[in-house]
Amino acid sequence: MSPPPALQLALVALVHLTLTNAATSFPDFQLLNVEQVLVGVLTQPSPLQTSEYNHHELLNVTESEDQWKWKLKLIHRDWLSTENATVSRNHSRRFHARIQRDVKRVASLLLRIPGGVIHDGEAAHGVNDFGSDVVSGMDQGSGEYFVRIGVGSPPRSQYMVIDSGSDIVWVQCKPCNQCYKQSDPVFDPADSASYGGVPCSSSVCDRIENSGCHAGRCRYEVMYGDGSYTKGTLALETLTFGPTVVQDVAIGCGHVNQGMFVGAAGLLGLGGGSMSLVGQLGGQTGGAFSYCLVSRGTNSSGSLVFGREAMPVGAAWVPLLRNPQAPTFYYIGLSGLGIGGIRVPISEDIFQLTELGYGGVVMDTGTAVTRFPTIAYNTFRDAFIEQTANLPRVSGVSIFDTCYNLSSFVTVRIPTVSFYLSAGPILTLPANNFLIPVDSVGTFCFAFASSGSGLSIIGNIQQEGIQISFDGANGYVGFGPNVC
């Protein structure tokens, strides 16, 4: 299915998700059920043991002669049991741990994207090295959402981090000279009949930045500024999605890894490069995938779906932008921001992706909190403060500078927050996606921050509960119409 010539605009009623045409009015205010949110915080489900989910329970795969659709369940990292139980069940500690990961993630992205290096609070406009095939994750904070797939022959079920900002699929492998803790047994290539190392002379090896050669086999090595890294052998291996088997997927087999994925065996790169899973599947899925990130504090799971049949009818489609200087990332056009139905006075130029690859707006599954350039964030935040003057303010928490004490409220009336997308649609966020609890006693914060650069990043908190679809072949990103 291709997006229609004219953008389809969807209004999803009764579910907090509003997608409208710029000329259509939408509610200026909405209600946040404070009591319900705090009950969710206090009754956060206990982390799951690996044994509680088997491979087939996390997969729902359908095939037809010319259309493939692979659906995997997405679970949040808080469901896994490898973290300290006190931390995983204490909302305040869990929040601070998430923000610490997020800060590292954003710092990593800023180093990889032109003009992203922070200098005196703003982007430095020098030329930066960029590796389109760099593995994202480890201690960068990308380990927020997990899927379960089979690796090797016979398939070994493994939790994998999904990351739209990475172009490599990799797993920890035996012999494991240095590995972090994971939920499942470490993958042993010696037990897989389909494992095959990639020769140094292979064109696949040439597509990896920082590749090397050892004993005739292609080696990869990815290092980060904070000391995180993964090193190992590039191989062709079989991946299994339920009953569907995909052969000869290029994966990294990491023998030396440092970082913290909290239970995951490795990373499933969904970026725009040729070495990501999406890029390697090519014609099998038509470059199409869709995800719905489960909302925090619920027992439900989200979904990750591959294939052209995953493209929904009734979504609001906007052009997918590409940055030749950063081909891994998915950019969208953003023309402005709104608070309470009023467009905030911010120049559209602030969100533009320049010809040199600076600025722009990236959709990222690994970043939690949406970031905007400082001047845009300050204006946006001030407009929200102006329209919430009746709410009791408290001191900022962590990276959030706009917080409220809502402990005495059952529900609270707050202004809407909207993204004015290029080509016309307006995405009005659910209240839970921008005013979030940072503890269990009623402190809520405006969940946005400054990027300290010219780059804007739409994070997963703002994406939660909304179906988001990428049609790489036709160059569109879709929002809605479904929710999760």
pLDDT in tens, 137-174: 233 334 578 889 999 999 999 998 888 988 889 999 99
Residues 343 and 431 in one domain: yes
Residues 187 and 327 in one domain: no
Alpha-carbon distance 362 to 371, whole Å? 10
Position 183 scores a pLDDT of 86
Percent of the chain with pLDDT over 70: 77
Residue 459 backbone phi and psi in degrees, to 5: -90, 175
Residues 257 and 358 in one domain: no
Q: What mean pLDDT do residues 278-287 have?
A: 86
Sign of the torsion angle spanned by Cα atoms 171, 174, 177, 181: positive
Alpha-carbon distance 474 to 170, whole Å? 28
Q: Is 343 within the bounds of a domain?
A: yes
Sign of the torsion angle spanned by Cα atoms 174, 180, 181, 182: negative
Domain of residue 165, CATH code: 2.40.70.10
Residues 235 and 376 in one domain: no
Q: Is 132 within the bounds of a domain?
A: yes
Among 299, 294, 369, which Cα is nearest to 39's? 299
Please say if the pLDDT value at position 119 is more than 70. no
Residues 31 and 170 in one domain: no
Q: Is 325 within the bounds of a domain?
A: yes
Q: What mean pLDDT do residues 312-339 have?
A: 94
Q: Which of 5-19, 112-126, 308-322, 398-412 has the lowest mean pLDDT?
A: 5-19
Residues 97 and 155 in one domain: no
Residues 268 and 347 in one domain: no
Residues 334 and 453 in one domain: yes
163 assigned to active site: yes
Q: One of 139, 163, 167, 471 is an active-site residue; which one?
A: 163
Q: Is 3 within the bounds of a domain?
A: no
Q: Which of 46-50, 71-75, 261-265 has the lowest mean pLDDT?
A: 46-50
> pLDDT per residue over 22-46, tens digit each?
444 444 899 999 999 998 887 655 5
Domain end marker among 263, 284, 305:
284
Q: One of 78, 133, 139, 364 is an active-site residue; which one?
A: 364
Alpha-carbon distance 303 to 64, whole Å? 20
Q: Is 306 within the bounds of a domain?
A: no
Q: Is 63 within the bounds of a domain?
A: no
Position 11 scores a pLDDT of 31
Residues 186 and 212 in one domain: yes
Q: Is 86 within the bounds of a domain?
A: no
Q: Is 233 within the bounds of a domain?
A: yes
Q: Which of 4-8, 51-55, 364-368 has the lowest mean pLDDT?
A: 4-8
Query: In the block, which residue shows the tokens 């009818």?
Result: 313
Please say if the pLDDT value at position 126 is more than 80. no
Range of the domain at 165: 128-284
**Which comes out higher in pLDDT, residue 348 or 167?**
348
- What total number of domains does the chain contain? 2
Residues 249 and 172 in one domain: yes
Contact 261, 268 (CB under 8 A): no
> pLDDT per residue over 376-420, tens digit each?
999 999 999 999 999 999 999 999 999 999 999 999 999 999 999
Please say if the pLDDT value at position 205 is more than 50. yes
Please say if the pLDDT value at position 20 is more than 70. no
Q: What mean pLDDT do residues 221-228 have?
A: 60
Residues 331 and 238 in one domain: no
Domain end marker among 284, 305, 327:
284
Residues 279 and 402 in one domain: no
Please say if the pLDDT value at position 55 is more than 70. no
Report H helices in 341-472.
374-387, 460-463
Length of the chain: 484
Domain end marker among 284, 303, 325:
284
Position 181 scores a pLDDT of 86
Rounded alpha-carbon distances, angstroms, from residue 222 to 132, 256, 293, 356: 11, 11, 28, 25
Alpha-carbon distance 238 to 230, whole Å? 21
Q: What mean pLDDT do residues 276-291 have?
A: 88
Position 101 scores a pLDDT of 81
Position 7 scores a pLDDT of 34
